Amino acid sequence: TGEKLKEPPLHIVSISVEMAPIAKVGGLGDVVTSLGRACQEEGHKVEVILPKYDTLDYSAIQDFKEITGFSWGATYNRVFHGKVEDIDTYFIDPENGMFRVGMIYGTDYLEIPMTDAERFGFFSKAALEFMLQSKRQPDIIHCHDWQTAPCAKAYWEDYAPYGLNNPRVVFTIHNLNYGAELIQEAMTYSQAATTVSRTYRDEVSGHESIHENIGKFHGVVNGIDPDIWDPANDDFLPRYYDETEVIEGKAACREALCAYSNIPNKPGVPMVGIVTRLTPQKGVHLIKRGVMRALERGCQVILLGTAPDPTIQQDFDMMFHQLKQNHHDFMAFHLYYNEPLSHLIYAGSDLLLVPSMFEPCGLSQLIAMRYGTVPVVRRTGGLNDTVFDYDVDHKKAEWEGMKPNGFSFDGMDDGAIDFALDRAINLAYDKPKDFRALQANCMSQDWSWNRPALEYIEIYHAARKPY
């Protein structure tokens, strides 16, 4: 075998509507930032183009300033630049104010004459226009989900013939549940497409928007940013810990978590954490069942979650008040979004419950493991690729070069989740030494972007090959 030719660095521009930590709603925002950072660390040049929302967290943007502007789309678009987590980020601010509405998603419900699809359709093309006008010629335009799916066709039809012609398009599906009708077009017009786990790739491969393009469709399991999620260096925790002081570290975090939640700490029983959007995807009825089962087994439970749907939010509000009336004093629901609290829950829990009905990749189970918290998950999508059941997945884990690291279940009824949760709780109660060993397995596994970033870089190169 000859020496591998070193390919020149790539210039990658991600066009996205979410970016952690300044404009994050879910996993998409995390991926754009942490994949970008990982590619930069491999020596490539990464830029992100984002709408300039009025809700941006400016405290996390360095050297923010207006750099240029252009008239396009019946408005003037100001362009700002700043560094986000060390990534060059460009912000587009149309003067018609479509991104000055106090939110990232949800204008469909407001008295604004534009839907989310129209706002992001505008943004997708404005980003291309900015690239044309600033004479950028990146190697890769990376677009994400239905929001920036319109980039793919617009690039090939309206920009490639007119001078912005070096780039090839890579399109990533973070969640096919939204805007699937926009996704087919991007699948057709992109040179390579990805989704965020191998199992999810297989699960959606029969979908009409995908099967015609299955040959260029890859499953790459997401990573997490090891600097942001690092128990040994996490300023949101009252105490840092690494593999050698898991017990003490987690005990201190649990203490702080209970204090924050205004509940007594009961250190002898498992702490069950839940960090999630409360949407049908996440298995709302299974979340409720899991809370009940954990309480029946004497565990403490802390849930952090927001429901975009007000009836689901009210549901959890009601459940919480009923539980309190029934003297469940050792549990808490935090029904809002709170990044620092999420860190405290990942660190202070023993088990993290993720009973999703479907889950393209899922980040919370990966984060939990890094903090020595054992995931209990429904076996679907990325959860199937990353969680290996303590009792039944020894062989499967071995094939992947992994060790068992959690508990899984298949069905969607009470019995199914109870069975997995009970096995986890039993191990914690009855065999604390074995439970500690399982926590150590979790912490020892590398869920960073090291490996997936290399897969993406290969896909970027493949997208540039003539076909």
Quick check: 194 binds ligand ADP (CB under 6 A)?
no
Min separation Cβ 65 and ligand ADP, Å: 29
Q: Which is it for strands 351-354 and 331-334: parallel, antiparallel or unpaired?
A: unpaired
Q: By beta-carbon distance, which residue lies closest to ligand ADP?
A: 27
Q: Assess 238 for contact with ligand ADP (CB under 6 A).
A: no
Q: Residues 249, 362, 372, 406: which binds ligand ADP (CB under 6 A)?
A: 362
**In terms of CB distance, is 304 or 442 closer to ligand ADP?**
304
Contacts (CB under 6 A) with ligand ADP, residues 271-290: 275-277
Measured from the CB atom, the residue of 186 and 224 that comes closer to ligand ADP is 224
Q: Decide: is 227 part of the binding site for ligand ADP (CB under 6 A).
A: no
- Of the pair 76, 336, the CB lying nearest ligand ADP is at 336
Q: What's the closest the beta carbon of residue 421 comes to ligand ADP, in angstroms?
A: 19
CA–CA dist 182, 195 (Å, integer): 15
Q: Decide: is 9 part of the binding site for ligand ADP (CB under 6 A).
A: no
Segment interacting with ligand ADP, rule: CB under 6 A, options 25-33, 74-82, 108-116, 323-331: 25-33
Site membership for ligand ADP, residue 304 (CB under 6 A): yes
For residue 364, state whether it binds ligand ADP (rule: CB under 6 A). Answer: yes
CB 13 within 8 A of CB 47: yes
> How many residues bind ligand ADP, per CB under 6 A?
18
Question: Is residue 26 near ligand ADP by the rule CB under 6 A?
Answer: yes
CB of 97 to ligand ADP, least distance (A): 28
According to the 3-state scheme, what is the secondary structure of 44-64?
Answer: CEEEEEEECCCCCCHHHEEEE
231 binds ligand ADP (CB under 6 A): no
Write down the least CB distance from residue 54 to ligand ADP, Å: 21
Which tokens is 232 given? 């040994």
Q: State the nearest-atom distance from the C-beta of 154 to ligand ADP, in Å.
A: 26
- Candidate ranges 118-126, 137-145, 243-251, 335-343; the one touching ligand ADP (CB under 6 A): 335-343
- β-pairing, 11-15 vs 140-144, is parallel
Q: Which is nearer to ligand ADP, 76 or 337 (CB)?
A: 337
363: contact with ligand ADP by CB under 6 A: yes
Q: Does 313 bind ligand ADP (CB under 6 A)?
A: no
Identified binder of ligand ADP from the candidate list 190, 194, 342, 349, rule CB under 6 A: 342
Least distance to ligand ADP, CB of residue 366, Å:
8
* Region of 7-15, 356-364, 390-398, 450-458 interacting with ligand ADP (CB under 6 A): 356-364
- Binding residues for ligand ADP, per CB under 6 A? 26-27, 30, 275-277, 304-306, 337-339, 342, 361-364, 367
